[in-house]
A and B are shown apart, each in its own frame.
Chain A
Amino acid sequence: MTAVHVETEPAWGQGESLFQPRRAAFWLFAALLVFGVIKLISYFMPALDNTPDGMAIAIVLWGAWMIPFVWIVRRLDLMEPEPIPFLGAALAWGGIVATSLALIANGAFGSVIFKAAGTEFTQQWGAAIRAPIDEETLKALGVVVVILIAARQVNTLLDGLVYGAFVGLGFQVVENLAYSAREMQTAFANGSSPFEALWHIFVLRGFAAGLWSHAVYTGIVGVGIAYFVLRTDKTIQRRVAVAALLFAASCSLHFFWNSPLFDNVVKDDADLNIVALGLIKGLPALILVFVLYRLARRREVAWFDGALAGEETLVTPDELAALHTMKGRREAIQAEERQSGWRGARLRRQLQQAQVRLACAKVRAADPHDAMVEEARADVRSTRDALSKVSTSPVSGTPSPA
């Protein structure tokens, strides 16, 4: 068995409010949010005026497109789901702050590249040079600002990945919406169909370019930032090196994606070419983020198991193993449903949630008999009792009455 090196215990459950008026980062975030909203309103206003129906459809379309990604990213952090206000803040940074700042930075940077290297170079390589540098930096600042507002929210490397992914997802959705607005606006001006323009951009950026881009890149950067902040047991040089390496990896993958390299793999079939392009250029980023996720998750599982050590009557070894993965949790719920029907399935889900809360409470409280821990234990017991009443088979781990 591979030993998992645990340096710092996560401060799970130590909730902090997003409203931190005594922290400068909070006011910076608030000011940039206001600036971003104003900037984006002025940006989207012509499209809203000319093609209100198209914009409404675009908002619904991209909003719906985001839902499965939110679902997936939230489930990456099974052991201690991040508070919704902070995930919302990360999403808002990516979607409002980073995009509005990138609109300015991209235009100026693109113009500098054009002046230095000419038109053809700019058209071929401009986006590959400017976007990784300014967009990745502006998005990364979102994770930094979340940490500056409430450091205790980022407790593990996995938290860095989740916050990074949310920043990236926000950026991706609003950027896609901006592209849709541009296309619809141009189509409107030229008398062609805004809806057709919207569909083109949805196919191009939602599927060909969208399945793994900004969320993945910023997720990678987020792990690096979390490593820098959390691994205080390591030397500062090493922490800087890891964060810089992951930032560089993210920029390189973004550069590769935006570059014209391998753009024409399948010469005779444009649709197949887009699929091939997505795999060749997108898969390396997905693989890297998956590897980082596995490494980060292994550490988190070790903490989780440690927190529930000695609680075998409340969380049996089988239940503990099932809690480690989404699949394990789902299979346990399905098995319960087969045995006890939908009520049993619902109670099994509630039991799993109560067990996760117990782990969080134990990590939070220094004393294993703290009132908060006892309350969590009582919650597990009562849920288990309720489950044993509807279950047709004996519920393992049911504690005997004291």
Chain B
Amino acid sequence: MTTTTEVSGTADAAQAGSATRERRTPAGLERRGLKATGIVLGVILFFTAGLSLIDALVPTPGTEVGAGQVVNLGGRARFTPATDWERESKSNPKGGNYFVARAGVEFRIGVFSSDLSATAVVKTFQGELRKTYPTILYNDTTTATTSAGLSGVACQFSALNVKGAILAFSRGGSAVLSVAIGPPENVVTLKDQINAMFDSIEFVR
């Protein structure tokens, strides 16, 4: 009787062991939950590699800015847009306005006649921007000097879903107002190019 039980027990154990092995992968992982884990991994791959691939495949609208292209703004100021940014159709360089964009970030620049100081230009624009983004918060204005020695006033801002910076210059009855604005993460990613565009601004006369 004892022997029978032992044999039966051994057989059960062997069967259980076999069942356990069947429920495991060769690497020793449990098969239960494996499919669901694979689905989780698939979703993650879609949101990372998949979306990046789709982004690479979708062409960018607009006209791509050529390397080193200098834009003359109504004969009063000029700047150099960053390479790989797209010129937007609303740009009117002869009228003194230019818009370039990349990854949802827009860099706008405009030159106009004004007797206002650079600080006053920034303050006026802050009020305008607040109408579009009521939750916007502005940092204190600071003095900014381009590598060409042009001195102006800068201000960063952040709202719930956008961030950016304003930079204004004023000289001899003309003012230049430039703004970079876009989704926070993309503004950060493109900050070097944005800063280079700010830095390239200069008055023509």
Residues of A whose CB lies within 8 Å of any CB of B are: 22-25, 27-28, 32, 101, 103-116, 118-119, 122-123, 126-128, 134, 137-138, 141, 144-145, 148, 151, 179, 182-183, 185-187, 189-193, 196-197, 200-201, 203-204, 208-209, 258, 263-264, 270, 273-274, 277
Contacts and interface: CB of A to CB of B under 8 A. Distances in A.
Contact of B158 (A105, A106, A200): A200
Given A110-B103, A204-B160, 10 more contacts: A22-B30, A23-B37, A24-B37, A101-B48, A107-B186, A119-B101, A185-B188, A186-B165, A190-B142, A196-B139
B134 A264 contact: yes
Contact of B37 (A108, A148, A189, A274): A148
A263 B134 CA distance: 6
A179 to B, nearest CB: 7
B33 A187 contact: no
B19 interface: no
B63 interface: no
Interface centre among A114, A119, A208 (most CB of B within 10 A): A119
22 contacts: A23-B37, A105-B51, A107-B185, A110-B186, A115-B55, A118-B61, A119-B88, A119-B101, A123-B181, A134-B51, A137-B47, A144-B36, A148-B33, A148-B40, A183-B158, A189-B191, A201-B158, A204-B137, A204-B160, A208-B160, A209-B160, A263-B135
B37 to A, nearest CB: 4
Contacts of B131: 264
Contacts of B103: 107, 110-111, 114
B41 interface: yes
B74 interface: no
A107 B189 contact: yes
A192 B140 contact: yes
A183 B184 CA distance: 9
A130 to B, nearest CB: 8
A120 B103 CA distance: 12
A187 B144 CA distance: 12
A203 B158 CA distance: 11
B11 interface: no
Given A111-B103, A200-B158, A193 B135 contact: no
Interface of B: 24, 28-30, 33-34, 36-38, 40-41, 43-44, 47-48, 51-52, 54-55, 58-61, 88, 99, 101-104, 106, 130-131, 133-135, 137, 139-140, 142-144, 154, 156, 158-163, 165, 181-186, 188-189, 191, 195
A258 B161 contact: yes
Contact of A101 (B33, B44, B60, B134): B44
A55 B74 CA distance: 44
A182 B165 contact: no
Contacts of A22: 24, 28-30
A47 to B, nearest CB: 10
A190 B106 contact: no
Contacts of B36: 25, 144, 148
Contacts of B28: 22
Nearest to B27: A24
Binding site of B, secondary structure by majority: helix, strand, loop or mixed?
A: mixed
A100 B162 CA distance: 19
A112 B54 contact: yes
A396 to B, nearest CB: 47
Contacts of A190: 142, 144, 154, 156, 165
A84 B46 CA distance: 31
Contact of A189 (B34, B48, B140, B195): B195
A274 B131 CA distance: 13
B140 A193 contact: yes
A196 B137 CA distance: 11
B135 A273 contact: yes
A393 B80 CA distance: 85
Contact of A193 (B51, B139, B160): B139
A258 B28 CA distance: 45
A250 B18 CA distance: 45
Given A108-B52, A108-B55, A112-B54, A187 B139 contact: yes
Nearest to B135: A274
Nearest to A259: B161
Nearest to A121: B104
B140 A196 contact: yes
Contacts of A141: 40, 43-44
A54 to B, nearest CB: 13
A122 B86 CA distance: 15
Contacts of B106: 119, 123
Given A22-B29, A25-B40, A186-B156, A270 B184 contact: no
